[in-house]
């Protein structure tokens, strides 16, 4: 009853009648549901996590696994998880949660704002006793998602402590594809990358990215947009970014997908992750009182 009352209270405080409402989502978790003339979408307070974006007249753009665990302490499998303050495994603590701790905790709803045909949902999380178990820094992290004909995502980190801090970050977007074997990714030709499936060896991309096996690559020192050609779905998906120096491309392929309990065996065929990020040697340094913003914009067009 307490959770249901909290959701009603949040909707009363932040909802926009006919446009945006706070409702109960999967697993009883609260989410913001947006419906406007340009798009529909969903964003969970759990992880500050966008799980749906569907431009008017188009199919769903984001992939979410039917086997995702919708519960505290577990990341939602799909959509756009927020990775922070480290990416992958924590280098000095193998027991720490993968991709940081913010994607598995409840965030707070800050605002829902309508501007013309777009709706912006802002959520935040802050440092506290629980976060300092894993990371000593003081911080405030905001995830701002704008739903419209484009999906605009912004992470804003403020250093609220008294010392400098260094962190990694990623908007780990799962994009729905028709058939991964036929997908082609443009915009990374000639870029150096670390191949995580081959002992982090430094390699250079030649031409378009084609997924033919497990793929886990960190493309380095790149600020360019990436375009995904999906002939089966007759769609091009463009991911542009700001203040991001790395792009991660990930697909688990056959064996890795089978080893993941929250991913169906064949889900790898219908998804690709294009991650706007600052990771590895491109981690971000912020002085005390400083602020950093990273943005990603997703748009779709016919193929």
Band of residue 3 on the pLDDT scale cut at 50, 70, 90? confident
Question: Which helix H or strand E contains 215, and what residues bound it?
Answer: strand 215-220
Residue 262 CA: distances (Å) to CA of 60, 102, 225: 20, 19, 30
For residue 64, the model assigns a pLDDT of 98
How is residue 204 written in tokens? 């250079």
Which of 22, 48, 52, 23 lies closest to 40, judged by CA? 52
Instruction: Please list the alpha-helical segments (H only) found in 150-251.
Output: none
Asked whether residue 100 carries a pLDDT value surpassing 90, the answer given is yes
The token duo for 95 is 């027991």
pLDDT in tens, 140-164: 999 999 999 999 999 999 999 999 9
Choose among 68, 64, 98: nearest CA to 84.
98
pLDDT tens per residue across span 13-69: 999 999 999 999 999 999 999 999 999 999 999 999 999 999 999 999 999 999 999
Report the alpha-carbon distance of residue 81 to residue 166 in Å, rounded.
20
Comparing 204 with 303, the larger pLDDT belongs to: 204
Domain range list for the chain: 2-302
Q: In what order do the strands lie in the sheet with 30-35?
A: 20-24, 30-35, 39-44, 49-55
What is the total residue count of the chain?
303
pLDDT in tens, 270-290: 999 999 999 999 999 999 999
Q: Give dist(CA 68, CA 148) in Å, integer.
A: 26
Report pLDDT digits (tens) over 168-217: 999 999 999 999 999 999 999 999 999 999 999 999 999 999 999 999 99
With bands split at pLDDT 50, 70 and 90, how would you rate the model's confidence at 4? confident
pLDDT at 128 over 50: yes
Q: What is the pLDDT of residue 274?
A: 98
Nearest by Cα to 163 from 137, 129, 142? 137
Buried b (16+ CB within 10 A) or exposed e, 1-13: eeeeeebeebbee
Using 50, 70 and 90 to split pLDDT, how confident is the model at 303? confident
Instruction: Provide the pLDDT for residue 86.
Output: 98
Please give the sequence-ordered ranges of beta strands (E in DSSP) within 72-150, or none if there are none. 82-83, 108-115, 118-126, 139-147
Contacts of residue 254, defined as CB under 8 A and 6 or more positions apart, other chains included, come to: 268
Confidence of residue 2 (pLDDT cuts 50, 70, 90): low
The per-residue pLDDT for 289 is 96
> Coil, strand, or helix at residue 104?
helix
Domain 2-302 CATH class label: mainly beta
Residue 302: predicted pLDDT:
86
Q: How far apart are CA 157 and CA 198, in angstroms?
A: 32
**Which DSSP category does 261 fall into?**
T
**What confidence score (pLDDT) does residue 71 get?**
92
Strand partners, 77: none
Phi–psi pair at 280, nearest 5 degrees: 60, -135
At which residue do the structure tokens 């990374």 appear? 188
Closest CA to 63 of 179, 153, 170: 179
Quote the mean pLDDT of the chain. Answer: 96
Q: Please give the DSSP secondary-structure letter assigned to residue 281.
A: G
pLDDT at 1: 42
Alpha-carbon gap, residue 106 to 91, rounded angstroms: 25
Which tokens belong to 163? 């010392």
Q: What percent of the chain has pLDDT over 90?
A: 95
């Amino acid at each position: 009853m307490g959770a249901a009352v909290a959701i009603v209270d949040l909707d009363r405080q932040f909802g926009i009648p006919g446009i945006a409402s706070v409702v109960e989502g999967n697993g009883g978790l609260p989410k913001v549901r947006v419906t406007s003339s340009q798009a529909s979408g969903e964003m969970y307070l759990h992880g500050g996590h966008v799980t749906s974006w569907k431009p008017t007249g188009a199919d769903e753009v984001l992939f979410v696994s039917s086997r995702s665990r919708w519960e505290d302490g577990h990341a939602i499998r799909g959509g756009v998880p927020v990775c922070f303050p480290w990416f992958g495994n924590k280098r000095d603590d193998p027991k720490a949660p993968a991709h940081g701790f913010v994607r598995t905790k409840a965030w707070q709803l800050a605002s829902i704002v309508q501007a013309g045909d777009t709706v912006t949902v802002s959520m935040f999380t802050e440092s506290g006793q629980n976060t300092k178990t894993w990371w000593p820094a003081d911080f405030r992290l905001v995830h701002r998602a704008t739903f419209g004909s484009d999906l605009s995502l912004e992470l804003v980190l403020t250093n609220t402590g008294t010392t400098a801090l260094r962190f990694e970050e990623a908007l780990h977007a799962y994009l729905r594809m028709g058939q991964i074997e036929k997908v082609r990714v443009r915009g990374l030709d000639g870029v150096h990358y670390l191949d995580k499936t081959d002992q982090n060896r430094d390699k250079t991309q030649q031409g378009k990215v084609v997924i033919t096996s497990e793929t886990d690559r960190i493309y380095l020192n790149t600020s360019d947009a990436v375009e995904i050609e999906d002939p089966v779905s007759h769609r091009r998906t463009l991911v542009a970014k700001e203040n991001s120096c790395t792009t991660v491309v990930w697909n688990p392929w056959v064996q890795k997908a089978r080893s993941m309990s929250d991913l169906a065996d064949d889900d790898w065929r219908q998804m690709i992750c294009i991650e706007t990020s600052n990771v590895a040697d491109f981690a971000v340094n912020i002085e005390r009182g400083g602020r950093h913003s990273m943005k990603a914009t997703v748009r779709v067009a016919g193929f």
